[in-house]
Each structure stands twice: as C-alpha cells, then as structure tokens.
C-alpha cells in the first residue's frame, strides 16, 4: 500500500530512488559513572573529540565544490566558532570532574541546558539556533562513540542517486552530499528558513523538511518518490504512481533545461509591451547566476547575509568592497541594494540588538525601524551605498516602510552623508535613485503619498501578505492562511501599481509571488511591468510573459479584484492561464 507523508517542500524537483537513512539521533547516549582515577582521562577524551570535530569541519570547508554558488563557509564557520566556545565544554568538564559523569552524558546535560535557553526565546531566528547547537553536539557525540570515523560520516560512493532521510541535516552535510551525487533529501525537522533549506534551494537539490516521525514509516533502502515542489514523499508507490512521477520528472527536467534558449530573448509580451525582468540576490556569489539566466539586473539585493554568522556588523569599508565586487560582476546592469532588513525571521547575527526579547518579532523593531534606532548599523551601509553609486548603476531601497516620517528621516540622513562626502571630495551619484519596499498594508494604502517622495517602489508580497492576513509567515500552524490570491492582497497590489503609474515612477514586485509563473498573467493584467524574481524562476516567468497578451488579460484581472474569494480568483486565473492570453 502506498503511504504518503507530507512536510514542507523547500526545494523544488522530483526524485525517485532508494532511501539512505542517516540515523544519528541522540537516543543511545550512554550514561554511567566513572571512577575518580578516570576523571582526567575522561576530560581528555572530551577534548580530543571536540578537536576531532573541529578538524572534520575544517576538512569539509576545504572540500566545498568550487561551483557552489552560496557562501557555505560562513555556515561552517559558525559551527567551528561554537566548537571553540568554552561554554560548550567548560560545563561538561565540570560535570565530569564533580559528578563523575561520563563525557557523553555530561555533554548531553550541557546540550539540554543550552537548547532550553534557545527554545525559551521568542525570537524565531534565535530559536532556530538551537539546531546549530544540536548539529555541533551530535557531531561530538558521534566521535565519542566511534573515535576514528571517516573524515565525514556519510559513506561516499554509496550515495549516488540515493534520497537521504535524516532527523536533520547540517549545512556541512548538505554540501558534502551534493558533492557525492545524492538525488534529494528529506528531514524530520527543520523549516523553510533553516540554513539547510536555503542551501538546498541554492544547490538545486530537491528537498522536503518537517516530515515528523518519517523514520517510523520508512526503512533503509525503501524505494520512494520525493516531490520537493509539493512537499510530499510516497513510500511503496504503485506502478501507476511511479509512472506518473517518472513522466513528470522527465517533463520537468526537459522543460527546465530547455528554458535556457530564452536567456537572450527579450522579455516582451505578444502585444509588444516590454517587461523589466530582474533577479533577487542574496550573496555576492549568486551574482554569477544573474548572468546565467540573462536577468536585466538586480531588483532586490538582500544585504542581511552580509551580517550573518558574525558578532560585529560590517563596517563601511567592508560594505563598499562587497558592493564594488557585485557591481563589477554586473557590468553596468542595475543593482538595487536593499538596506538591512534585520529582525523577525531573518537569518542574521551581526548587529543583532542585544537586550530585550520581542514577543512579536515580525511586528517589532525590524528593518528600517531598527536602522533608524541604531545609526551605527545604518550609517556605514548608507555611506557605502552612496560611494558605490559612483562606480555603477546603483539604486537604494528601504525595507518595511510604514509611514512618510521614516522616509523623510532617511532622506535627511542621506543629505547629511552627501554633504560629508562632498566635504571630503569623495564621489557619488548625486541622482542616486531612492525607493522603498511596499510590504506593510499602511504603505500600500498610502502608496500615492509615498510615491510622491521617492524614485521607485517595489512590492514585497512575502511580508505584505503576512501583514494583510495577520499571520506569521514562519508559523506552520497558520500557513494555510498565507494566500497571495486573497482579493484584499490583489486590491493592495493594484493600488500600488496605480500609484506608481500616476506618479510616473516604476512600481516593481520582488516578493515570491512575482516568481511563480502561475501568477504572471494575473500580475501583467493588474499592470505589473517590473518583476524581480529568484534566478531559478526567471526563465519560466519570461516564457509566460512572451506568451501573453496584456490587452486580453486586463479585463479578467479587473474581475479578480472584485472576486468574493481567492477560490474565485483561482478560477479566473485558470481561465487566464489556459489559453493564449
Ligand atoms: C518581501 O517581503 O516580499 C520581500 C521581498 O522581502 P523579504 O522576503 O526579504 O522580507
Ligand atoms: Mg520583506
């Protein structure tokens, strides 16, 4: 009988293959008392295991494939830092000395104490750091139990074509497995915003996470189908399902590799309307993919990753160096640098405000609010963006704007910085375009007023939907309400696009909604002319654009605005997507 398990699809694609279960949980951690004459030896055993773990991670870091597009070293460095932190070993050492516990059990006590502290935190990002503690501690535990493992624990050649199932995977595991030719991975834990999920997407490995208790139903070497697009795995699929998935897999792989033919093609609709098709980027290395897919530039450069996995935020020189590196790669194409959007679910450390924990981080001191409160974070970045503007086609974008005061405050700061640069004789683009994200309903409703102050707008649907629907975008339990097709969301989008037209400034969209080709025609019909999407989605959106006729889409898009539910919108969209519109 076929069993289907549902989790979260974090990286698209279908894989069919045998399961390799990585059973590395903590279930069999030995607990015993040692004799007093064994204490010194036990402490040495602990330290040797920590040193071996460090050595393993360094070796992983050296083996990161040169073709990897994301900055994986920083993930691994975070784990190395944790291994160097005395907080992990000092307490375990005390327990060995004073309570005569064995090293494994002493380490487990310290792991439990640290995890409890992280779990009690309201901040979603900090809560996910407990996974890092687990990854690091599990590595040491495995070494303690098996003192001379291979440099890494994933058997090399055996993995080609396998689907890995684990309780959780570290970023280091993920890199190694990609190198070893795995077909996909599934984990029992982990969410959409985990480091491992981000890596899977960037590495192009199909992945499903959050398959609670999957190991109760799956056995080593079972044949399974993993659908990373829909977040499902099928165990013991019958011949018919297998055939359906094999066909889909073949179709999808042909489809995606065939899309490259559109790389140089203009993003123009059937009726001759030119559409600006830009890319969303997170790390300097991702800029290579901008060229691979032929994007017309970068519509959203999320700079949070510059602040990630470090204690101190970057200074002006580091910001500038990074932006110049990126501009160099873009070779004249526009680069929209979004200023720091730290807070809520964002995976960053550097510059994280110390002190009080916020009970509703998504509604709290994040993004522009935090930057205006902490000039030491904001000013070096603004100055660096200004300076970078002398060397390329730079635009500056502000996140999470909710009123005009915030914009006015930033404009005053920028004027002051410009005066400083003038006084120092440092060049910058005096007409640097300044725009903002529209991702708070208040800003969407007043987009006409905001448009009068700025040079461009960009709709951030990820947050706009979260705030319109009053749901936390990282909360599994209310995810079902995350609905891009809700008429309220469409009305807000439509009024922002109108505000842009009336003010004669570009109004783009850079949220995930713009990268889903099922929405492309609806958005064209609503008046969107500038899309900024993940590079992996860019060519499929371009294909849809080239097959669309805006004249035909406008009437249906207007009907969608007056639909009574997203179900009705869905039906209208089906109509739009079925024919040659
Ligand atoms: C958005 O909110 O749609 C957006 C693009 O910003 P982020 O996902 O970085 O919050
Ligand atoms: Mg946002």
Which of 437, 458, 528 should be mutated for ligand 1, with most atoms under 8 A from CB? Answer: 437
Share of residues in the chain with pLDDT > 90 (%)? 58
pLDDT digits (tens, 9 = 90+) for 291-324: 889 999 999 999 987 887 677 899 999 999 999 9
pLDDT digits (tens, 9 = 90+) for 98-152: 999 999 999 999 898 888 888 787 666 666 677 778 888 888 988 888 755 444 4
Domain 25-149 has CATH 1.10.274.10: yes
Mean pLDDT of the chain: 87
- Tokens coding 269: 């609709």
pLDDT digits (tens, 9 = 90+) for 11-35: 889 999 999 998 655 557 888 999 9
Give the pLDDT of residue 352.
47
> In sequence order, what are the beta bridge partners of 437?
458
Instruction: Report which listed range, 110-124, 199-213, 331-345, 488-502, is most confident.
Output: 488-502
The model's pTM: 0.74
Class level of CATH domain 265-578: alpha beta
Q: Is the CA virtual torsion 266, 271, 274, 280 positive or negative?
A: negative
Question: Is any atom of ligand 1 closer than 6 Å to the C-beta of 302?
Answer: yes
Dist CA 85 CA 219 (whole Å): 37
Instruction: State which ligand 1 atom lies nearest to the alpha carbon of 510.
Output: 5
Question: Is any atom of ligand 1 closer than 6 Å to the C-beta of 462?
Answer: yes
Q: Which residues are catalytic?
A: 195, 510
- Residue 232 CB: number of other CB atoms within 10 A? 16
Nearest CA to ligand 1 atom 3: 460
- Model confidence at 502: pLDDT above 60: yes
Mean pLDDT of the 462-469 span: 94
Helices (H) then strands (E): counts for the chain: 21, 16
- Tokens coding 378: 């904001």
Overall fold of domain 1-19+159-215+223-262:
Glucose Oxidase; domain 1 (3.50.30)
Domain boundary assignment for the chain:
1-19+159-215+223-262, 25-149, 265-578
405: confidence class by pLDDT, cuts 50, 70, 90:
very high
345: confidence class by pLDDT, cuts 50, 70, 90:
low
- Residue 265 CB: number of other CB atoms within 10 A? 13
Q: Which residue has the higher pLDDT, 539 or 155?
A: 539
Q: Which residue has the higher pLDDT, 9 or 343?
A: 9
Q: Which residue has the higher pLDDT, 57 or 565?
A: 565
Instruction: Report which listed range, 120-134, 172-186, 219-233, is most confident.
Output: 219-233
Mean pLDDT of the 419-428 span: 98
Q: Which residues contact 218 (CB under 8 A, 6 or more apart)?
A: 19, 21, 165, 224, 233, 235
Question: Is any atom of ligand 1 closer than 6 Å to the C-beta of 463?
Answer: yes
Identical topology for domains 1-19+159-215+223-262 and 25-149: no
């Amino acid at each position: 009988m076929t069993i289907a398990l549902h989790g979260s699809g974090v990286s698209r694609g279908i894989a069919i293959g045998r399961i390799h279960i990585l059973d590395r949980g903590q279930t069999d951690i030995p607990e015993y008392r040692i004799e007093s004459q064994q204490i010194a030896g036990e402490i040495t055993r602990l330290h040797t295991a920590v040193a071996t773990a460090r050595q393993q991670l360094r070796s992983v870091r050296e083996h990161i494939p040169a073709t990897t597009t994301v900055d994986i070293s920083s993930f691994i460095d975070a784990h190395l830092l944790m291994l160097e932190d005395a907080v992990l070993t000092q307490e375990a050492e005390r327990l060995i000395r004073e309570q005569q516990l064995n090293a494994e059990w002493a380490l487990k006590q310290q792991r439990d104490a640290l995890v409890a502290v992280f779990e009690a935190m309201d901040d979603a990002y900090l809560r996910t750091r407990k996974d890092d503690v687990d990854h690091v501690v599990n590595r040491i535990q495995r070494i303690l139990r098996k003192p001379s493992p291979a440099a890494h624990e994933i058997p090399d050649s055996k993995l080609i074509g396998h689907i890995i199932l684990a309780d959780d995977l570290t970023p280091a595991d993920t890199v190694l497995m990609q190198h070893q030719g795995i077909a996909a991975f599934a984990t029992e834990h982990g969410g959409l915003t985990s480091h491992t999920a981000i890596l899977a997407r960037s590495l192009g490995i199909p992945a499903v996470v959050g398959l609670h208790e999957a190991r109760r139903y799956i056995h080593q070497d079972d044949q399974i189908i993993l659908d990373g697009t829909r977040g499902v795995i099928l165990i013991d699929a019958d011949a018919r399902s297998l055939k359906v998935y094999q066909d889909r897999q073949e179709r999808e792989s042909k489809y995606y590799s065939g899309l490259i033919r559109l790389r140089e093609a203009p993003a123009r609709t059937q009726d001759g309307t030119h559409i600006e098709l830009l890319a969303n980027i997170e790390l300097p290395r991702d800029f290579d993919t901008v060229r691979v897919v032929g994007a017309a530039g970068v519509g959203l450069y999320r700079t949070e990753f510059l602040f990630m996995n470090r204690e101190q935020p970057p200074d002006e020189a580091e910001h500038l160096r990074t932006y110049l590196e990126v501009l160099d790669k873009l070779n004249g194409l526009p680069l929209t640098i979004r200023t720091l959007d730290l807070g809520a679910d964002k995976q960053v450390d550097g510059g994280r405000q110390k002190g009080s924990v916020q009970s509703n981080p998504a509604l709290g001191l994040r993004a522009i609010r935090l930057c205006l409160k902490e000039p030491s974070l904001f000013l070096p970045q603004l100055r660096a963006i200004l300076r970078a503007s002398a060397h390329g086609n730079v635009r500056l974008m502000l996140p999470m704007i909710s009123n005009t005061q915030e914009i006015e405050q930033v404009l005053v700061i920028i004027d002051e910085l410009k005066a400083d640069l003038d006084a120092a004789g440092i060049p910058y683009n005096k007409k640097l375009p300044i725009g903002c994200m529209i991702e708070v309903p208040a800003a969407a409703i007043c987009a006409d007023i905001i448009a009068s102050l700025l040079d461009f707008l960009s709709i951030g649907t990820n947050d706009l939907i979260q705030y319109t629907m009053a749901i936390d975008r990282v909360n599994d339990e209310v995810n079902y309400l995350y609905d891009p097709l809700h008429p309220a969301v469409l009305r807000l989008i439509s009024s922002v696009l109108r505000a842009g037209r009336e003010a004669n400034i570009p109004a783009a969209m850079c949220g995930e909604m713009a990268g889903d080709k099922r929405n492309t025609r609806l958005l064209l019909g609503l008046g969107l002319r500038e899309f900024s999407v993940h590079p992996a989605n860019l060519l499929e959106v371009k294909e849809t654009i080239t097959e669309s006729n805006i004249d035909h889409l406008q009437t249906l898009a207007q009907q969608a605005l007056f639909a009574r539910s997203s179900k009705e919108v869905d039906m209208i969209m089906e109509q739009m997507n079925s024919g040659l519109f």
